[in-house]
Amino acid sequence: MIKCLRVDHRLLHGQVAFSWTTSLGADCILIANDDVVQNEIRKTTIKLAKPSGVKLVIKTVEDSIKAINSGVTDKYKLFIVVESIEDAYQLVKNCPQIKAVNLGGTKAREGTRNISKAVNVTKKEEERIREMLDSGIDVEIRMIPLDTSIDARHALNKEG
């Protein structure tokens, strides 16, 4: 069962690893990222952040989609973490069992606008979020579980 799909440019770190995993009751974390699979330094860093007693799986986005759709992840209380809105969009588009996306943090980059404390989006990312919302996916902005959830549509519509 998929507990949460989270977008966080830092992927797995203390705040995510402990507060989210505990709050969700997750027993498996899936990092869906094309770079981490082949980047030993990033992989090691992520493994160090993993809470004890929680399984960690690192796969490409495509392999993550295949695993989710095959049913092999069904036995887990799965917490999926991706680095970008585009990766989340690909998962949502290809895995009908994903019904919600949590935007936790995206870096300020050239061409982005800030829509909340830690979320910065490009025009294309705004379009992707709107597409997900329009297709019935719940997209929220929330850094940690105790924060108040902000509806992404509301955040996108604010002046910026």
Give the orientation angle of helix 123-134 with respect to helix 85-94, to 10 degrees. Answer: 30
**From edge to edge, which strands make up the β-sheet containing 78-82?**
55-59, 28-32, 78-82, 2-8, 100-105, 138-141, 150-151
Confidence of residue 159 (pLDDT cuts 50, 70, 90): low
As a whole number, mean pLDDT of residues 58-74 equals 98
- CATH of segment(s) 2-157: 3.40.35.10
Q: What is the pLDDT of residues 106-157, one digit of tens each?
A: 999 999 999 999 999 999 999 999 999 999 999 999 999 999 999 999 999 9
Q: What residues are annotated to the active site? A: 13
Predicted model pTM? 0.96
Domain ranges of the chain: 2-157
Return the sign of the alpha-carbon dihedral for residues 14, 65, 109, 151: negative
How far is residue 152's CA from residue 149's CA, in Å, rounded to a whole number?
9
